[in-house]
Amino acid sequence: MTCWFCGVEEEAEGKAYEVEMYGDVMQNPADTEEAVSFNKKLVVVPRCASCKHRQAKAKRANIFAVISLVLAITAGIFGVLKVVDGYIWGIALGFFAAMIIEFLTIRHHAMKGIKSEAAARKKNEEVCEFLSRGYEFGRAPKQHKVAETIIEED
C-alpha cells in the first residue's frame, strides 16, 4: 500500500500512524456495574519510513522553537528589568529570536511535500467515515467508570 502522507513511497512496516477512535457510546442502566459501553476503532494510516522520520524531525523543531520563544521572552524581560547591566540580554534575545526562525525553517523544510499527522486526523478517508458516524478521537469516553468489555470493530 502507498504512504498516505507522501503518496509516493510504499508503506513501511511498523511506521504507520495510528488513530484511536471510539463511538456508539451507550449509557447502561444504573443497576449495572459499568456506566457506559462503547465500540472502539484503531484506524491505521499507512506511512513510509521517510515520512515518519520527517514528521518526527518537524515535531522536534516545534519543541525547540517553543523553548527558544520562552527563553527569548525571558531574556527580553530580564533586559527590561535590567537584572544585569550591559547588552547581554539584547544579545541573548537576538540569539533566541534567530533560533526560533531556524527551527521554524527546519520544520517547514521537513514537512515540504508531505501531509501532517493532523491532516490524517482530519482528511483521511477512513477517519472521516468514522467521524461522520459519530466516532470521536481517543481510547474511551471521558467517564469515571467505563465498561470493561469493549466491543472492537474490524
| Residue 136 domain boundaries | 17-152
Task: Please check whether residue 73 lies inside any domain of the structure.
Answer: yes
79-100 pLDDT, tens digit per residue, is 888 887 778 888 999 999 999 9
Task: Please check whether residue 6 lies inside any domain of the structure.
Answer: no
What pLDDT shows up at residue 141?
A: 84
The answer to whether the CB of 12 falls within 8 A of the CB of 52 is yes
What is the C-alpha to C-alpha distance for residues 113 and 83, in angstroms, rounded to an integer?
45
Task: Please check whether residue 90 lies inside any domain of the structure.
Answer: yes
pTM of the model: 0.76
Task: Please check whether residue 8 lies inside any domain of the structure.
Answer: no
50-83 pLDDT, tens digit per residue, is 999 999 999 999 999 999 999 999 988 988 888 8
What pLDDT shows up at residue 145?
A: 47
Average pLDDT, the chain: 88
Task: Please check whether residue 21 lies inside any domain of the structure.
Answer: yes
Q: SS3 for 28?
A: coil
Task: Please check whether residue 100 lies inside any domain of the structure.
Answer: yes
Closest CA to 133 of 70, 61, 7, 41: 41
Task: Please check whether residue 10 lies inside any domain of the structure.
Answer: no
The total number of structural domains that make up the chain: 1
Task: Please check whether residue 46 lies inside any domain of the structure.
Answer: yes
